[in-house]
């Protein structure tokens, strides 16, 4: 009964691992796996020398750190505030509304971005025109997109992580709060000294899970928002989008495999190191 799963991962995950050999070849689509001329580390060398690898790594890790940290902090704050709301129907309604963006596709997200920032008729420029300001061409401003990408990530994922934290908050026994109340702690003290520490283990678990994918991460988001807009690559290109473009647009198979292998390997080492350090500090939190 386990067979379908084993077979699936064999074909879908383990066989392609053999394909990392392409990273060391001058690949073209017509030749078989071992016919392609072997070029050693040339592909890596080129990626390294052109500065692409460093830029991609910094972008990838930078964005993911921002996603993880801001995402979790914001989710905790919102979950706490939401749990303090008095009207039950209002609580349910707002929770549903904030969870909604998680359900729509990234293509819809790109429609939204188009609707708001499009130069000719975007909502933003319509608004600016009303206040007598000139139009802004957001698609030409690489730096702005750092904030936009993070903003839209938060927009889409806040509701989801909020629900997880909300569940953890609901799990905290009322007795703690009663006792603190009797001791004269006001509501901010109760939140700071009871709720926040109680959420620590949930936070750590979510943190570790997301660290595992720090080298991958959110291809859909970046690709749907940026697409093939080269003006923005400097600040918005991550390993995933680079590999995808190399495969589908520039057909640079060897290079794309090299970048992909680097991504996997770097991520693997990163997780192993983090896991090792965590195990040293507190065994309970280690992933494996």
Residues 36-75 that bind another protein (CB under 8 A): none
Residues 180-239 close enough to bind another protein by CB under 8 A: 186-188, 191, 201-202, 205, 212-213, 219-220, 224, 227
φ, ψ for residue 25, nearest 5 deg: -125, 165
Can residue 96 be called a binding residue for another protein (CB under 8 A)?
A: yes
- Select 69 or 108, whichever has its Cβ closest to another protein: 108
CB contact at 8 A, 102 and 159: yes
The DSSP call for residue 22 is: G
* Single residue of 54, 173, 248, 250 touching another protein by CB under 8 A: 248
**Structure-token pair, residue 96:** 């549903």
- Integer Cα distance of 225 and 115 in angstroms: 12
Can residue 155 be called a binding residue for another protein (CB under 8 A)?
A: yes
| Largest Cα span, the chain | 78
- CB of 260: closest distance to another protein in angstroms? 2
**Structure-token pair, residue 102:** 């998680």
Can residue 8 be called a binding residue for another protein (CB under 8 A)?
A: yes
135: buried, middle or exposed (CB in 10 Å: 19+, 13-18, 0-12)? middle
* Single residue of 138, 159, 210, 221 touching another protein by CB under 8 A: 159
* Single residue of 54, 65, 69, 108 touching another protein by CB under 8 A: 108
Q: CB under 8 A: which stretch of 51-59, 60-68, 123-131, 138-146 binds another protein?
A: 123-131
The DSSP call for residue 11 is: I
- Select 23 or 61, whichever has its Cβ closest to another protein: 23
CB contact at 8 A, 257 and 27: yes
Q: CB under 8 A: which stretch of 35-43, 51-59, 61-69, 243-251 binds another protein?
A: 243-251
């Amino acid at each position: 009964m386990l067979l379908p799963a084993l077979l699936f991962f064999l074909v879908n995950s383990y066989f392609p691992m053999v394909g990392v050999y392409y990273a060391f070849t001058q690949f073209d689509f017509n030749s078989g796996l071992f016919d392609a001329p072997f070029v050693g580390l040339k592909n890596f060398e080129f990626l390294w020398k052109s500065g692409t690898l460093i830029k991609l790594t910094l972008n990838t890790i930078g964005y993911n750190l921002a996603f993880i940290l801001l995402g979790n902090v914001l989710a905790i704050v919102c979950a706490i505030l939401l749990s303090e709301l008095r009207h039950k129907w209002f609580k349910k309604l707002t929770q549903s509304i904030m969870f909604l963006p998680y359900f729509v596709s990234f293509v819809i997200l790109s429609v939204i971005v188009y609707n708001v920032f499009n130069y000719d008729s975007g909502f933003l420029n319509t608004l600016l025109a009303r206040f007598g300001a000139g139009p802004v061409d957001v698609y030409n401003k690489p730096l702005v997109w750092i904030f936009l990408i993070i903003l839209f990530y938060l927009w889409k994922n806040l509701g989801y992580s909020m629900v997880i934290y909300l569940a953890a908050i609901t799990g905290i026994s009322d007795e703690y709060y009663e006792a603190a109340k009797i001791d004269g702690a006001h509501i901010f003290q109760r939140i700071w000294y009871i709720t926040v520490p109680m959420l620590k283990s949930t936070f750590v678990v979510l943190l570790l899970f997301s660290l595992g994918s720090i080298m991958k991460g959110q291809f859909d988001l970046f690709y749907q928002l940026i697409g093939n807009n080269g003006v923005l690559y400097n600040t918005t290109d991550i390993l995933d989008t680079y590999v995808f473009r190399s495969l589908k647009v520039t057909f640079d198979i060897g290079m794309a495999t090299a970048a992909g292998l680097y991504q996997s390997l770097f991520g693997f080492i990163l997780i192993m190191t983090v896991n090792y350090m965590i195990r040293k500090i507190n065994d309970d939190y280690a992933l494996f």
